C-alpha cells in the first residue's frame, strides 16, 4: 500500500473509531487471533506508551495491520529507528506516523524539569528527557507550553528518523516513504494529522 493510501486508511479508521464502528478483526478471539500469517502491516506508528491512547483501537485496526512502536514520549532513539528501518526495508511499509498526544506525561515532565531546573530522579529518565529537550528549544513562550511542546516533539522525532538513518533518509528522498506527524486528543481519541507537506 502506498503512503497516501495508508494515511487515508488511518484517517478513515480514526473516523470509524469516533463513530463507534468496530473493525471485525478486533473481535477475533484466542481461537483465531490472526486473519493471515503474513506480516504485512500497512503503516508504522511511533507512539507514546500512554495507556489512554491504545493505537490499534483509535485507528480501528486489527491484528497484523499496524507496526506499532511505543515508548514514553514517542522518542526516536536507536531501538525505535531500527524498528522503523525493519518495517520499511523488510515489510515494505511506506508510511510512518509519529503520534503524540495531549497531556503527555513524558513531555510535561521534560517541560517542568526545564522550567524548574530540577534534575531527573534516575539516569534512565534523564536520558529520556534529553531526547525531548531539543524539541523544547522550539517553544516560543512558557504559556501553555505542554500542548505546543507535544507538537514540537512530534516534529522533532520525525526529523530524527531521517537525520539519524541513512536508510530512511534515502527512502524519503526517493518518495518511497512518508513520515507524517499527528496528535491524539487523549480525552476523545480524535487524531489531528499534520499532513500538509
Footprint on this chain of Zn ion (rule: CB under 5 A): 48, 50, 104, 106
Rounded Cα gap, residues 96 and 92, in angstroms: 11
The CB-of-52 to Zn ion minimum distance in angstroms stands at 9
CA 163 vs CA 64, 76, 137, 172: distances in Å? 29, 11, 18, 11
H helices within 137-187, ranges in order?
Answer: 145-163, 166-173
Rounded Cα gap, residues 39 and 25, in angstroms: 15
The CB-of-91 to Zn ion minimum distance in angstroms stands at 26
Nearer to Zn ion, 173 or 187 (CB): 187
Residue 175 C-alpha cell reads as 518518495
Nearer to Zn ion, 48 or 88 (CB): 48
The CB-of-13 to Zn ion minimum distance in angstroms stands at 21
The CB-of-57 to Zn ion minimum distance in angstroms stands at 16
Cβ-Cβ contacts under 8 Å for 85 (sequence gap 6 or more): 165, 167, 168
Which residue is listed with cell 534512565?
124
Nearer to Zn ion, 16 or 146 (CB): 146
Nearer to Zn ion, 88 or 184 (CB): 184
Amino acid at each position: 500500500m502506498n503512503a497516501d493510501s495508508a494515511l487515508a486508511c488511518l484517517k478513515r479508521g480514526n473516523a470509524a473509531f469516533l463513530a463507534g464502528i468496530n473493525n471485525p478483526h478486533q473481535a477475533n478471539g484466542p481461537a483465531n487471533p490472526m486473519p493471515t500469517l503474513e506480516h504485512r502491516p500497512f503503516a508504522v506508528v511511533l507512539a507514546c506508551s500512554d495507556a489512554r491512547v491504545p493505537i490499534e483501537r483509535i485507528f480501528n485496526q486489527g491484528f497484523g495491520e499496524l507496526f506499532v512502536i511505543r515508548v514514553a514520549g514517542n522518542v526516536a532513539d536507536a531501538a525505535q529507528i531500527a524498528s522503523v528501518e525493519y518495517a520499511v526495508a523488510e515489510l515494505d511499509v511506506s508510511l510512518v506516523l509519529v503520534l503524540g498526544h495531549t497531556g503527555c506525561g513524558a513531555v510535561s515532565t521534560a517541560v517542568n524539569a526545564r522550567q524548574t531546573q530540577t534534575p531527573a530522579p534516575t539516569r534512565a529518565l534523564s536520558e529520556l528527557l534529553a531526547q525531548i529537550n531539543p524539541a523544547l528549544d522550539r517553544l516560543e513562550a512558557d504559556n501553555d507550553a505542554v500542548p505546543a511542546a507535544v507538537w514540537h516533539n512530534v516534529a522533532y522525532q520525525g526529523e530524527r528518523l531521517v537525520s539519524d538513518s541513512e536508510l530512511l533518509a534515502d527512502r524519503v528522498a526517493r518518495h518511497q516513504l512518508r513520515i507524517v506527524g499527528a496528535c491524539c486528543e487523549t480525552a476523545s481519541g480524535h487524531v489531528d494529522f499534520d499532513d500538509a507537506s
